[in-house]
Each structure stands twice: as C-alpha cells, then as structure tokens.
C-alpha cells in the first residue's frame, strides 16, 4: 500500500463517518417542535451530509478499481467503532459499556471476515 | 420524541429494507467498477469513469432507496444502535455466498462472523427498552 492509497482510504472512511454524524443531526432537528423539512438548519445539515456521502462514494469507487473488495472491507469495518464512539462524544447519545463492547466486537468481526 | 409509526413506517422494518438494498448494491458496485477499471486514467482515483457501467447506475438507485430509509431510521433510532446493527450486511454477504453459491467459509471467517453476531446481540439487547421509550 502506498501513502497515496492510504490517504484515499482514510479520506473515504472519514467522509463516510462525518456524513453519518451530520445526517443524524439533520434528522434529529426534524423531531423538535420548531423543526421542519424547510428550516435552514435541516437543509444545510442535509446538504453537508449528502455532499460528504457523495465524496465518500466516489473515493470508494476509485479504490475499488485498484483493490479487491476484501482488501478494502477491513477499513470499512472500523467505521462501526468510530461512529459508535463519536455518536456518544459529539451527538451526546447514551454510550453504555455494552454498546461500546458490541461495537468493538462487530468491528473486529468484520476485519476478521474480510481478512480471510 | 414522536410516536413510533407502525406498519411500513416502522423504523426497524426500514432498517431491514436499507440493509437489503446495501447488500445488493455492494455486489453491483464491485462488478461495475471492475468492468470499467482503467488505472492508467488520470481521473480514475475519483471513480467517475465507473459511471459508464449500467450496473453502477442500478447500484446508485438502490443506494438512493437505502439512503431514504436510512434517514427515516436516523429520525427514530440512536446512531449508536442503528449503525452497528446496519453492519449485519457484512456477515450477510459471506453467508449468502455460502448458502446460495456453495462457497467455502474458512475457520477464520467463521470466527469473524461469530464475533459480529455476539456484537450485534450486545447492541440489540437494549432495543426492547428503547422501543418502550419510543
């Protein structure tokens, strides 16, 4: 793996993780009484989330042209534990020990599945 | 928090729909991207030349459907629970290859599948409580 490919793998992972967090915020804003699908807050968050998803999508396609899916999948597996922790820290979601261990096991399992 | 809708609007049903669409789209994307691979091209890191494959367009349609149902899921279910559960797709792919295509699953891969199942069970356990709150 070259530094360039590592950079694109990390960039696609981070843009995917960022998109999930921003989209969750966007959808949460529709749950409040003042929230609507036309509010500026919702539209700007949704647009940012979709932009990040699009970046991640094309970076992944570019990576798939060079590497096997089985090679790239372990990195996608890491997204589970990263998102679980960041949802607790940034979105202030309740993060129990049970959820954290569950996230670690799922990530580790995905890495094992895709390595073999 | 709003009342949780039932029937087709049930967020857990939408989570299943989203996962199934992702499962099929992953396979289509890999085939489409491989068909159109051109590593010599200057722009190939962006993946844009994969749009020449119809399979990639089918995958995009499925991704849009899964995206809409995923947004709906996010409205009702915390990310710490919804996202790990959505990764059940990562064991559905090798399992469907084993069941439908007769592919062999190595011992290490079975261990990985086992870990994911235990992890999913841990994450899914508090769902009953959250279901009550919703």
State the complex-level ipTM.
0.86
Q: What total number of domains does chain B contain? A: 1
pLDDT of B1 reads: 45
Listed range (A53-57, A110-114, B87-91, B96-100) with the worst mean pLDDT: B96-100
Cβ–Cβ below 8 Å for B30 and A62:
no
Domain residue limits at B71: 7-133
Instruction: Write out B59-103 in H/E/C secondary structure.
Output: HHHHHHHHHHHHHHHHHHCCHHHHHHHHCCHHHHHHHHHHHHHCC
What is the average pLDDT value for chain A, to the nearest integer? 88
B77 found inside a domain? yes
Q: Given CB atoms, is B115 within the 8 Å cutoff of chain A?
A: yes
Contacts 24+ apart (CB under 8 A), B38-44: B38/A65, B39/A65, B39/A66, B44/A62, B44/A65
Mean pLDDT of A14-22: 95
Shortest alpha-carbon distance between residue A53 and chain B (Å): 10
Q: What total number of domains does chain A contain? A: 1
Please give the structure tokens belonging to residue A41.
Answer: 């807050």
Residue B132 has pLDDT above 70, yes or no: no
B92 found inside a domain? yes
Residue A67 has pLDDT above 80, yes or no: yes
Q: Using a CB-CB distance cutoff of 8 angstroms, which residues of chain B are in contact with residue A106?
A: 84, 87, 90, 115-116, 119-120, 123
Span B112-130, pLDDT tens digits:
999 999 999 999 887 766 5
Domain residue limits at A42: 3-115
B86 found inside a domain? yes
B1 found inside a domain? no
Contacts 24+ apart (CB under 8 A), B93-98: B93/B23, B93/B26, B93/B27, B94/A113, B96/B23
A29 pLDDT tier (thresholds 50, 70, 90): confident
Of B95 and A100, more confident: A100
Provide CB contacts within 8 A for A49, sequence distance 6+: A19, A20, A22, A23, A26
Q: Given CB atoms, is A112 within the 8 Å cutoff of chain B?
A: yes
Mean pLDDT of A37-43: 83
CA distance linking residue A43 with residue A37, whole number of Å: 7
CA distance linking residue A95 with residue A92, whole number of Å: 8
Please give the structure tokens belonging to residue A85.
Answer: 């922790």
B42 found inside a domain? yes
B29 found inside a domain? yes
Chain A, window 30-59: residues with a beta carbon less than 8 angstroms from a chain B beta carbon:
30-31, 53, 57-59
Cβ–Cβ below 8 Å for A103 and B79:
no
């Amino acid at each position: 793996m070259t530094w360039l490919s590592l950079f694109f793998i990390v960039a696609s992972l981070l843009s995917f993780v960022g998109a999930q967090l921003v989209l969750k915020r966007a959808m949460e804003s529709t749950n409040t009484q003042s929230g609507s699908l036309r509010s500026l807050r919702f539209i700007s968050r949704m647009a940012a989330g979709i932009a990040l998803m699009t970046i991640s999508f094309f970076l992944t396609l570019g990576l798939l042209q060079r590497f096997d899916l089985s090679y790239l999948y372990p990195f996608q597996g890491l997204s589970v534990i990263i998102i679980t922790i960041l949802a607790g820290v940034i979105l202030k979601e309740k993060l129990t020990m049970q959820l954290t261990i569950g996230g670690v096991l799922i990530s580790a399992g995905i890495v094992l599945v895709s390595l073999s | 928090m709003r009342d949780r809708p039932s029937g087709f609007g049930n967020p857990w049903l939408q989570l299943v729909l989203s996962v199934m669409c992702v499962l099929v789209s992953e396979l289509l994307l890999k085939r489409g991207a491989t068909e159109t691979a051109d590593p010599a091209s200057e722009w190939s890191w962006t993946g844009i030349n994969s749009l020449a494959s119809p399979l990639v367009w089918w995958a995009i349609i499925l991704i849009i459907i899964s995206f809409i149902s995923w947004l709906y899921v996010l409205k009702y279910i915390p990310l710490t629970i919804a996202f790990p559960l959505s990764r059940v797709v990562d064991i559905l792919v090798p399992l469907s290859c084993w069941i439908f295509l007769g592919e062999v699953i190595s011992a290490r891969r079975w261990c990985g599948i086992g870990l994911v199942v235990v992890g999913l069970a841990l994450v899914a356990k508090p769902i009953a409580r959250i279901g009550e709150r919703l």
